[in-house]
Amino acid sequence: MSSKGRRRHVIGVDGCRDGWLYVRRDLHSEGLAAGFVTSFAKLVHLRPQPAVLAIDVAIGLPSAGARDCDHLARSLLGRPRGTSVFPAPIRPALAARSWEEACRVTERADGRRISKQTWAIVRKIGEVDSLLANSPSLQRRVREVHPEVSFFLMNGGKPIRHGKKERAGLRARAQLIGRWLGDVLDGLRAQLPPAGWAYEDLLDACAALWSASRIAEGKAISLPQHPPVDASGLRMEIVA
C-alpha cells in the first residue's frame, strides 16, 4: 500500500462490551465500512492502514493528579454532558486487580479515589497504553477523541441536551451523523455482528470518525492547545 493509499483512510473507534467497534471512511471515494475486532492490536494492524485512527480511550496517563485535557473537555461541555468525561486513571492504577486496590493506589499518589466509571474501562485503557507506551510513535496516527466533544462541535458548539442512553439523545446524535454522512446507520449496523455492542457504540464510533476526518484534513482542535506528555512520551490531549 502506497503512502497515498494510506492517506485515503481514516477510522473512528469506540470500545464496547466485547471488543472494539470501528467505522472506516475513504476520504477520496467517501465509502464507509463498519467492523468489529476483539483487541486493540488488531485495530492497529488493520489493512489498509489508516492515516488516522481516532479512538475514545485515554491516551497518555499521569503518574499522579488529573489531566488538563479531561478538565478542559468537561468545562467545554458544561453540565450535564461534562460528566461523560471520566477522569483518566493514573498509570500505577492500571496494575490494580480490583476497584478497591485501584482506589488505594490512587489515594496514596494524590489523595483521591478512582471512580467506578473509570474503573469499568481501565482494562481497555491498559490495553491501549501497553501498546502505545512501548511504541510512542504510533501516536502520530492513533489519537484520543471523546464522542461528546465531537458531537458538541458537530452541533455548532452546543452540547446535546439528552444523554446517549435516552431515546431523544440517540435520535439527536443520529440526526447529526445523518447531516454529515447521509442515511448510513442502518447499512453500517448490518455489517456488524449481532451481539457484543450497543447502538450508542456505533454512534460514538461515527463521532470519532468525524474527528478523525478533521485530523486528517488539518481542521481539528486539541485540548489543550499545547498538550503535555506523560512519562512514556505520550501526549495527554483530546482532539476533535
* Residue 8 pLDDT: 87
* Residue 7 pLDDT: 67
CA distance 187 to 238: 29
Parse the chain into domains and list their residue ranges. 1-89+118-240
Q: Which grid coordinates are listed for 53?
A: 485512527
CA distance 130 to 180: 34
DSSP string, 159-227: --SS-TTSHHHHHHHHHHHHHHH-S-HHHHHHTS-SSS--HHHHHHHHHHHHHHHHHHTT---EESSS-
- The pTM assigned to this predicted structure is 0.94
* Residue 3 pLDDT: 45
Summarize pLDDT for 52-109 with one digit per residue, the tens: 999 999 999 999 999 999 999 999 999 999 999 999 999 999 999 999 999 999 999 9
Pairing of strands 9-16, 19-26: antiparallel
Residues of the chain with pLDDT under 50: 1-6
SS (H, E, C) 28-54: CCCCEEEEEECCHHHHHCCCCCCCEEE
Are 43 and 13 contacting, i.e. CB atoms less than 8 angstroms apart? yes
CA distance 128 to 122: 10
